[in-house]
Amino acid sequence: MLLAGLFFAFMQVMVKFVPHIPAVEIVFFRSLISLVFTFGILKRNRVPLLGNNKKLLVLRGVTGSMGLIFFFYTLQHIPLASAVTLQYLSPVFTALLGIVLVKEKVKPIQFLYFALAFGGVLLIEGFDPRISPTYLVIGMASAFFAGLAYNIIRRLKNSEHPLVIVFYFPLVTLPIAGIYCLFFWVWPTGWDWLILLGIGVFTQFAQYYMTMAYQNANLSRIASLNYLGIVYALGFGFIFFNESFNLLTYVGMALVLSGVVLNFRPNK
């Protein structure tokens, strides 16, 4: 899980290294690499490509695509740690949407934890002039669509092979991103090509190690390690982009993480 978090952090840094390339175009390259990798694994394991519940699989692809595009956009335009912190709201949206979509019960104390997390977001936005209300909304939209995608994955868990669910993400994302790229394409130059390749490769390694961790270790212990990503983001943001924050912004980040982590406790 530590390796997965590190590789995800490398991917995030690389996205920030190419601010001149549209976020949708970066998602296009990332999805292309993911499609090739996943297709190869599916064929090797002789798993049917298109699955059973095609409507939900396509919807999972659309929501995942929107979430990733918005996340990459915030990575390019606001401090690294702030973008990552906003993305950490996705478990909150997952739980809230789960009440309606998968009829999951939420204990009353969890709403206090949700409020704690959203209070942290308000602190971050209110005390960091680099984060405008527009970027805040885009960052929260990223977490919302990620939460929606996770709920759809829950609905699919009994009918689809996990690799098929993974495969539909780039399968649906490529045409969505491709249409945008037809009109707003920016040609990568020089090191851009290597960075774009690195984004796709590091993402695949991160997903591989994360899947390995979830398959072979205690879920509650592993899930908490995911939030070490904020430590990577703070460190890499300072080293590569000279990013720092005031005390209240750090407090806001801590509140978001506290609200998300505490949300796991009532369900144990």
- pLDDT (mean) for 66-81: 93
In this structure, which amino acid lies at residue 187? W
Those residues whose C-beta lies under 8 Å from the C-beta of residue 71, and which sit 6 or more positions away, are 83, 87, 139, 142, 146
- pLDDT (mean) for 11-32: 93
Contact yes or no for 203/14 (Cβ under 8 A)? no
Q: How many domains does the chain have?
A: 1
Q: Quick one: pLDDT band at residue 215, thresholds 50, 70, 90?
A: low
Q: Specify the pLDDT at position 92.
A: 80
Give how far Cα 210 sits from Cα of 4, 136, 235, Å: 5, 28, 21
Please count the helices (runs of H) and the strands (runs of E) in the chain.
Answer: 12, 0
Contact yes or no for 78/131 (Cβ under 8 A)? yes
Q: Specify the pLDDT at position 221.
A: 58
Q: Specify the pLDDT at position 222.
A: 60
pTM of the predicted structure, to 2 decimals: 0.86
In this structure, which amino acid lies at residue 108? P
d(CA 38, CA 224): 27
Q: Quick one: pLDDT band at residue 264, thresholds 50, 70, 90?
A: low
- In the block, residue with structure tokens 């098929």: 164
Say yes or no to pLDDT of 266 above 80. Answer: no
Query: Which of 28-42, 118-132, 184-198, 247-261 shows the highest mean pLDDT?
Result: 184-198
Q: What is the residue-wise DSSP string for 198-249?
A: HHHHHHHHHHHHHHHHHHHS-HHHHHHHGGGHHHHHHHHHHHHH-----HHH
Residue-wise pLDDT tens digits, 149-203? 888 888 887 777 778 888 888 899 999 999 999 999 999 999 999 999 999 889 8
Q: Specify the pLDDT at position 105.
A: 77
Instruction: DSSP letter for 265, please.
Output: G
Q: Specify the pLDDT at position 223.
A: 60
Q: Specify the pLDDT at position 68.
A: 92
Domain extent, residue 153, equals: 2-267
Q: Quick one: pLDDT band at residue 214, thresholds 50, 70, 90?
A: low
Q: Specify the pLDDT at position 224.
A: 61
As a whole number, the mean pLDDT across the chain is 85
Percent of residues in the chain assigned helix, strand, coil, to nearest 5: 80, 0, 20
The Cβ of residue 206 has, within 10 Å, a number of other Cβ atoms equal to 19
| Tokens standing for residue 83 | 């973008």
Say yes or no to pLDDT of 16 above 60. Answer: yes
- pLDDT (mean) for 57-62: 91
Say yes or no to pLDDT of 53 above 70. Answer: yes
Q: Specify the pLDDT at position 22.
A: 94
Query: Which of 34-38, 46-50, 142-146, 210-214 shows the highest mean pLDDT?
Result: 142-146
In this structure, which amino acid lies at residue 63? T
Start-to-end CA span in the chain (Å):
20
If DSSP codes are grouped into helix, strand and coil, which group holds residue 148? helix
Q: Specify the pLDDT at position 186.
A: 93
Q: Give CA 62 to chain center in angstroms.
A: 14
Q: Specify the pLDDT at position 155.
A: 81
Among candidate residues 16, 30, 21, the one with its CA nearest the CA of residue 189: 21
